[in-house]
C-alpha cells in the first residue's frame, strides 16, 4: 500500500474557524455530484467550493460503504492522504518564523549525533529541499525493508520516524540533493522528524496544536476515519470497490503521518485551505504573507513546478489563464483533490472514498463541473 498523488488537472481569516455563508446562501452541490458518482461507479463523493473566506457551495452523493445504506454526507470525514503534505510544510514554516529552524537548516545541523552515519551527500540536505521533494529522498520507500519495520512497530511514532530517517540517510540519495524532483513520502516524514527534534513534541501533537485547534478543525484526526466494523463514517475502498473497515489495514503506516494520514470533514479541510487561498494577501494570522508566497513558489527551474506541498500550474480559470495550486492525495483507498486559484480567490475541494482509476476519472469530472458551477 502506498500514497499516490496527482499534480496538474473579503479576506481576513485570522485564526478564526473559517466562515460559511448563511444556510440559505450555501449552494447545494448534491445534484452535480450524483450523476458523476453513478457514471463512474464510485461509492461516494463530497465537495465544496470556497470563495474568499467562505464556503459557498457544498454537496455529497453516494454511500459510505458499497453494499450499505448509510448515505455519504457533507459532515462525513474523508482521508486526505498526501494533501497532508501542505500541512506539514505549513508547520515547518511556522517553526522557521519562530526561529526554531531556517529553510537552510541541514540534516547534520538537526541530527549532529547521526552525521557520521550519514552518507556524505545527506549532511547538507536542507529542510527546504525535503519539503519541495528535491532532497534526493527515495520515491518508493514502501519497497524498502524499513516500511514493514515501521508498519509493525509498537513504539512511539517519533522513534519509528527516526528508524526511517536512519534507513534513508545510510544510503546514497536517489539523485544529488537539489538537482531533481522526486516525489517522496520519506522526505516529508523526515521533515516531520525534524519538527519533532526541534520542538520535543510528536508531529501529531504539533499539527493538533498549530492547525487543528486554532482553526477549530474538530473533526480532524489521523488514519482511516471511523470505528472498526461500524458505518459511522465512510469506509475506504480498494480498487474495484472492496470496502475496508477502518483500522491499521485501511491506511499506510502511522509513522508516515507527515506525508499523508490526516482525515477531516470537507468543511474543516476548507478552514485550512482558506488560509492558503488568502494568505498571500495577509488573510491569515497563521503565517506572514511573504511566508505563504514562499510556500507557494517552486524552486527556480523545478520541473514539474512543485512548491511546498503544492503543485503549481497555469490553468484556464474563468476563461483566463491563472495560477493554480493543486494537490491530490490517495492511500489507494481514498482520493482527495485540493484545487486553489489564489489570484481569483476561490478554491475547490473534492473527496472520494475510493482511490483507483475510476475515482480519478470521477474526481476530474467533478472538478471540471465545479469550475463551471463557480463561473
pLDDT by 10s per residue, the chain, length 375: 444 444 433 222 233 334 555 555 889 999 999 999 999 999 999 999 999 999 999 999 999 999 999 999 999 999 999 999 999 999 999 999 999 999 999 999 999 999 999 999 999 999 999 999 999 999 999 999 999 999 998 899 999 999 999 999 999 999 999 999 999 999 999 999 999 999 999 999 999 999 999 999 999 999 999 999 999 999 999 998 999 999 989 999 999 999 999 999 999 999 999 999 999 999 999 999 999 999 999 998 888 999 999 999 988 765 667 899 999 999 999 999 999 999 999 999 999 999 999 999 999 999 999 998 876
Tell which residue, 221, 203, 223, has the closest CA to residue 212.
221
Helix (H) or strand (E) holding 59: strand 54-62
Query: Residue 304, preceding bond cis, omega within 30 degrees?
Result: yes
Contact 11/41 with Cβ under 8 angstroms?
no
List the domains of the chain with CATH numbers: 4-83+216-374 (3.40.710.10), 87-205 (3.40.710.10)
Q: How far apart are the first and last CA of the chain?
A: 38
- C-alpha cell of residue 107: 540534516
SS3 content of the chain, % helix, strand, coil (to 5): 40, 20, 40
Supply the DSSP string of 306-325, one letter for each residue.
B-SS-EEEEEEETTEEEEEE
SS3 for 126?
A: strand
Q: In whole angstroms, what is the distance from residue 24 CA to residue 373 CA?
A: 17
SS3 for 258?
A: helix
pTM of whole model > 0.85? yes
SS3 for 129?
A: helix
Beta strands 54-62; 19-20: pairing state: parallel
Amino acid at each position: 500500500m502506498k500514497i499516490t498523488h496527482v499534480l496538474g488537472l473579503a479576506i481576513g481569516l485570522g485564526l478564526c474557524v473559517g466562515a460559511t455563508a448563511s444556510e440559505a446562501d450555501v449552494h447545494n452541490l448534491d445534484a452535480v455530484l450524483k450523476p458523476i458518482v453513478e457514471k463512474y461507479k464510485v461509492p461516494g463523493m463530497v465537495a465544496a467550493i470556497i470563495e474568499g473566506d467562505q464556503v459557498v457551495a457544498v454537496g455529497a452523493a453516494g454511500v459510505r460503504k458499497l453494499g450499505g445504506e448509510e448515505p455519504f454526507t457533507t459532515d462525513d470525514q474523508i482521508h486526505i492522504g498526501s494533501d497532508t503534505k501542505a500541512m506539514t510544510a505549513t508547520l515547518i514554516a511556522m517553526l522557521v518564523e519562530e526561529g526554531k529552524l531556517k529553510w537552510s537548516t541541514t540534516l547534520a545541523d538537526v541530527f549532529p549525533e547521526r552525521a557520521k552515519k550519514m552518507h556524505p551527500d545527506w549532511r547538507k540536505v536542507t529542510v527546504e529541499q525535503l519539503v519541495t521533494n528535491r532532497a534526493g529522498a527515495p520515491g518508493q520507500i514502501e519497497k524498502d525493508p524499513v516500511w514493514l519495520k515501521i508498519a509493525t512497530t509498537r513504539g512511539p511514532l517519533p522513534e519509528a520516524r527516526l528508524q526511517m530517517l536512519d534507513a534513508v540517510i545510510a544510503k546514497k540519495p536517489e539523485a544529488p540533493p537539489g538537482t531533481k524532483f522526486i516525489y517522496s513520502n520519506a522526505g516529508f516524514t523526515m521533515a516531520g522528524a525534524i519538527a519533532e527534534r526541534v520542538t520535543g513534541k510528536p508531529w501529531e501533537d504539533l499539527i493538533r496544536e498549530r492547525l487543528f485547534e486554532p482553526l477549530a478543525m474538530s473533526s480532524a484526526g489521523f488514519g482511516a476515519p471511523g470505528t472498526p466494523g461500524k458505518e459511522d463514517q465512510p469506509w475506504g475502498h480498494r480498487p474495484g470497490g472492496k470496502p475496508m473497515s477502518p483500522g491499521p489495514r485501511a491506511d499506510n503506516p502511522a509513522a508516515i503521518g507527515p506525508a499523508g494520514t490526516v482525515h477531516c470533514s470537507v468543511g474543516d479541510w476548507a478552514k485550512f485551505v482558506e488560509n492558503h487561498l488568502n494568505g498571500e494577501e495577509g488573510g491569515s494570522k497563521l503565517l506572514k504573507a511573504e511566508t505563504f508566497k514562499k510556500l507557494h513558489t517552486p524552486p527556480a527551474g523545478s520541473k514539474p513546478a512543485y512548491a511546498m506541498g503544492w503543485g503549481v500550474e497555469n490553468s484556464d480559470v474563468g476563461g483566463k489563464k491563472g495560477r493554480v495550486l493543486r494537490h491530490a492525495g490517495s492511500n489507494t483507498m481514498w482520493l482527495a483533490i485540493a484545487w486553489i486559484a489564489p489570484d481569483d480567490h476561490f478554491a475547490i475541494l473534492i473527496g472520494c472514498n475510493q482511490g483507483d482509476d475510476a475515482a480519478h476519472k470521477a474526481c476530474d469530472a467533478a472538478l471540471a463541473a465545479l469550475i463551471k458551477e463557480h463561473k
